[in-house]
A and B are shown apart, each in its own frame.
Chain A
Amino acid sequence: DAKTTQPPSMDCAEGRAANLPCNHSTISGNEYVYWYRQIHSQGPQYIIHGLKNNETNEMASLIITEDRKSSTLILPHATLRDTAVYYCIVSGAGSYQLTFGKGTKLSVIP
């Protein structure tokens, strides 16, 4: 599975959009980009995933660049409850496992 690079931490003002970047320059054609988050003392929670098209659900939007070497998770209106560690993961559809890196610690500030 391709490796990912994320900034270790980010701040975002409450009510503003949070844009979390992820680099995955070695991604291969059949690998998906997944985003999970982990709120303190809880298990990780799935947010969204995509292959090459932009995706949106009730939680977030995922923007994948045309060359697929990077992506951005967008939380459109961040709240204090969005404070968490966000993990960007790249994995093939045929893989049984996801490899979690260290993620980005997002702090939403009042």
Chain B
Amino acid sequence: KAGVTQTPRYLIKTRGQQVTLSCSPISGHRSVSWYQQTPGQGLQFLFEYFSETQRNKGNFPGRFSGRQFSNSRSEMNVSTLELGDSALYLCASGVGRDTDTQYFGPGTRLTVL
């Protein structure tokens, strides 16, 4: 089975721009979660989508948004980029049960200049 894929792997943007990241989950997985990883901060939860609906949301500003399509693929959008948005953005998929194991993609490294 193919793993979680994320595109693009690397991205450089400037302040004020917007960016869209894409995630394709493992086949059969209906849950997709997004995380931001910055040095010393661990993995900060952004949001989770399940069957095209946002099921949970972390404490991030409204500039961060996402969506999930009927094939479970998900996109994350960040508008009006700030320098502090530079991070590794990770996507994880799971079947969507309460006691679930999430499987991560390789991440998208976003650099904001």
Q: Do A and B come from one complex?
A: no
B-binding residues in A (CB < 8 A): none
B contact residues vs A (CB 8 Å cutoff):
none
